[in-house]
């Protein structure tokens, strides 16, 4: 039996709908997915009890899907099953996103659950290489994509984000803990000549739990911010509702390109 550890956004419902049998949907409090009703809600302070409950229900596999805001830990709300995990929680909360996610993943695996990635459950969501819409990248955009890839490879090694904004060979914006949407919003209204959003995994990315994602909302936000295109790494980024993304890119005159390369 599969359980989804579901966060915000559309992806949890997309994954749930693609499964042959309905999964158990578990929501971290305050991180409701779009259009998907959770079967149960838990807090960080009750994670130990959740693990016991999942085992009792016959869950064997779990998939982390959707956005989750980094939680705080309330010592007064800890239950008896979760108290032994506090040292691991504290270690996770002190680390960057990748480090924290690996600790959480390790907790589930040591409890006996197989952690499945979205790309494993719904492989059709992975970006295939090529230009998706009617607008093709020019030579400058291709050079900007190379600059973006080099920047993510360099800065991502320090666990600093999966996306950047590039214009005329220079990185003019970098994703931080606030996420890609916040990066795009910060760039709105700022001078930028045919800027692109570039998105790819960080070096050593834990693919089962935090693979980069774009969707129709990304296309709309980039158009509103005045970008010329969106470039992602083929095979390394999930694309929600590809047909809608292509239609929106064509409507707004944006390049939508899944780049193949290193």
| pLDDT computed for residue 122 by the predictor | 96
CA pair distance 38, 14, nearest whole angstrom = 14
CA pair distance 37, 52, nearest whole angstrom = 22
pTM of the model: 0.86
CA pair distance 45, 131, nearest whole angstrom = 45
Domain with CATH 3.40.50.20 in the chain: 2-121
- Asked if 28 contacts 71 with a C-beta cutoff of 8 angstroms, the reply is yes
pLDDT band at 71 (very low <50, low <70, confident <90, very high): low
* Pairing of the two strands 196-199 and 163-167: antiparallel
Domain with CATH 3.40.140.80 in the chain: 126-259
| pLDDT computed for residue 87 by the predictor | 79
| pLDDT computed for residue 128 by the predictor | 94
Q: Cα Rg for the chain, rounded, in angstroms? A: 19
Tens of pLDDT, residues 213-246? 999 999 999 999 999 999 999 999 999 999 999 9
SS3 (DSSP) at 135: coil
Pick the CATH number of 2-121 from 3.40.50.2000, 3.30.1360.120, 3.40.50.1220, 3.40.50.20: 3.40.50.20
CA pair distance 65, 61, nearest whole angstrom = 13
- For the 126-259 domain, the top CATH level (class) is alpha beta
What is the arithmetic mean of pLDDT over 100-107?
Answer: 75
- For 32-36, 98-102, 104-108, which range has the lowest pLDDT when averaged over its residues? 98-102
CA pair distance 3, 224, nearest whole angstrom = 36
CA pair distance 84, 147, nearest whole angstrom = 45
- Asked if 216 contacts 222 with a C-beta cutoff of 8 angstroms, the reply is no
What is the arithmetic mean of pLDDT over 98-119?
Answer: 82
What are the tokens at 213?
Answer: 């994602």
Q: Which residue has the higher pLDDT, 204 or 119?
A: 119
Question: For residue 245, which of 156, 134, 157, 158 has the smallest C-alpha distance?
Answer: 134
Q: Which helix (H) or strand (E) holds 183?
A: helix 180-187
- Asked if 216 contacts 223 with a C-beta cutoff of 8 angstroms, the reply is no
CA pair distance 198, 237, nearest whole angstrom = 11
Tens of pLDDT, residues 158-203? 766 789 999 999 999 998 877 899 999 998 877 678 999 999 998 8
pLDDT band at 101 (very low <50, low <70, confident <90, very high): low
| pLDDT computed for residue 33 by the predictor | 92
Bridge partners, 64 (sequence order): 5
- For 75-84, 93-102, 134-143, 184-193, which range has the lowest pLDDT when averaged over its residues? 93-102
pLDDT band at 93 (very low <50, low <70, confident <90, very high): low
Whether the pLDDT of residue 21 is over 80: the answer is yes
């Amino acid at each position: 039996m599969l359980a989804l550890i579901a966060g915000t956004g559309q992806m949890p419902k997309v994954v749930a709908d693609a499964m042959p049998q309905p999964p158990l949907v578990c929501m971290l409090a305050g991180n409701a997915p779009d259009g998907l009703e959770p079967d149960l809600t838990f807090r960080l302070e009750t994670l130990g009890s959740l693990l016991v409950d999942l085992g009792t229900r016959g869950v064997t596999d779990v998939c982390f899907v959707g956005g989750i805001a980094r939680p705080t830990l309330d010592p007064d709300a800890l239950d008896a099953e979760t108290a032994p995990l506090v040292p691991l929680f504290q270690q996770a909360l002190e680390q960057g996103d990748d480090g924290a996610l690996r600790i959480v993943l390790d907790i589930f695996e040591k409890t006996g659950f197989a952690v499945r990635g979205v790309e494993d459950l719904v492989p059709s969501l992975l970006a295939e290489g090529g230009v998706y819409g009617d607008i093709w990248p020019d030579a400058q955009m291709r050079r900007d994509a190379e600059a973006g890839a080099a920047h993510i490879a360099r800065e991502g090694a320090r666990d600093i984000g999966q996306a950047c904004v590039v214009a005329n060979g220079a990185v003019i914006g970098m994703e931080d803990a606030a996420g890609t949407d916040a990066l795009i919003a910060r760039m709105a209204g700022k001078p930028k000549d045919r800027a692109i959003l570039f998105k790819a995994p960080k070096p050593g990315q834990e693919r089962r739990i935090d693979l980069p994602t774009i969707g129709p909302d990304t296309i709309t936000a980039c158009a509103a911010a005045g970008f010329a295109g969106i470039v992602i790494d083929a095979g390394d980024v999930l694309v929600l509702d590809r047909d809608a993304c292509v239609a929106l890119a064509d409507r707004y005159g944006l390049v939508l390109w899944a780049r193949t390369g290193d």
